[in-house]
Amino acid sequence: MTLLDENIRAQLREVFADLKHPVKIVFFGDEAENCEYCEDTRQLLTEVADLALDKIHLETYDLKGNPELAKKYRVERAPGFVILGMRGNEILDYGVRYAGIPAGHEFTSLINDIINVSRQDSGLKKETREGLTKLHDPVSIQVFVTPSCPYCPRAVILAHQMAIESPLIEAEMVEALEFPKLADEYGVSGVPHTVINVQKSNGQRGFEEVVGAVPEKNLLEAILAAANPA
């Protein structure tokens, strides 16, 4: 049984025909644990990749069985995956990550991220790009979502655009229902809920939260506020 119907497959074939550069998706499941959505996530990514075999390359691994690779890509949860760019033999890690299945409305985020990584361009406004050059320390962004949230893809895609633009930013979609302990840790009660953590070189920690899907300018302001705590 397939997850994507023929109508969606036809639309994606048309979209993927315009992919500029190849994309690699590295997926981590967990064979040792009762990972409820690991197989569905792997199947979904397989079906998507099969629609553009020359441009989308999928690799699948077990999280616990490949600890060094998981550490390399900073994947800590299963199902989890990263979307990487490819330039010849060079792998481009833009910091685009997912924790949980990109189901429901989040399927839109997956497809948009594949397109943006393939373009190797964030698509952000000039002033946003310039603002991100002010960063000096690593920034971690986690966007908590649920599959039924119609506004969540806007927040996820924007966070991933920020990651594509800046080598100091890593952004992860987190499916809140699959990882409730992590959601509780940040007091997530509604989605999208974006958490921004900055570990500064002087040991100081910067932290900001954004609730709701906000414009580019607002997320940039939150990132810079976390990077330069008062």
Question: Torsion-angle region of residue 95: left (phi > 0), alpha (psi -120 to 50) or beta?
Answer: left
The pair of structure tokens assigned to 24 is: 């690699």
Judged by DSSP in three states, 46 sits in helix
Select from 53, 86, 119 the last residue of a domain.
119
Contact between 165 and 129 (Cβ < 8 Å): yes
Residue 205, φ and ψ in degrees, nearest 5: -110, 130
Question: For the chain, how many structural domains are there in total?
Answer: 2
Cα-Cα-Cα-Cα torsion 143, 145, 150, 156, nearest 10 degrees, comes to: 20
Task: Provide the CATH number for the domain around residue 134.
Answer: 3.40.30.10
pLDDT one digit per residue (tens) for the chain, 230 residues: 899 999 999 999 999 999 999 999 999 999 877 899 999 999 999 999 999 989 999 999 999 999 999 999 999 999 999 999 999 999 999 999 999 999 999 999 999 999 999 999 999 999 999 999 999 999 999 999 999 999 999 999 999 999 999 999 999 999 999 999 999 999 999 999 999 999 888 888 999 999 999 999 999 999 999 999 86
User: Quick count: other Cβ atoms within 10 Å of Cβ 7?
Assistant: 8
Rg (CA), the chain: 17
Residues 26 and 44 in one domain: yes
Are the C-beta atoms of 52 and 45 separated by less than 8 Å? no
DSSP 21: S
Answer whether residue 69 is part of any domain: yes
Q: Are residues 25 and 46 in the same domain?
A: yes
Residue 105 tokens, joined: 């409305």
Element (H, E) at 81: strand 80-87
Tell me how far apart the alpha carbons of residues 153 and 135 are, in angstroms, rounded to a whole number.
25
Q: Is residue 1 part of a domain?
A: no
Domain extent at residue 102: 6-119
The answer, as to whether pTM is greater than 0.75, is yes
User: Does 99 lie in the same domain as 180?
Assistant: no
Q: How far apart are the first and last CA of the chain?
A: 54
| 31 within some domain | yes
Domain limit, last residue, from 67, 85, 119: 119
Q: Are residues 50 and 154 in the same domain?
A: no
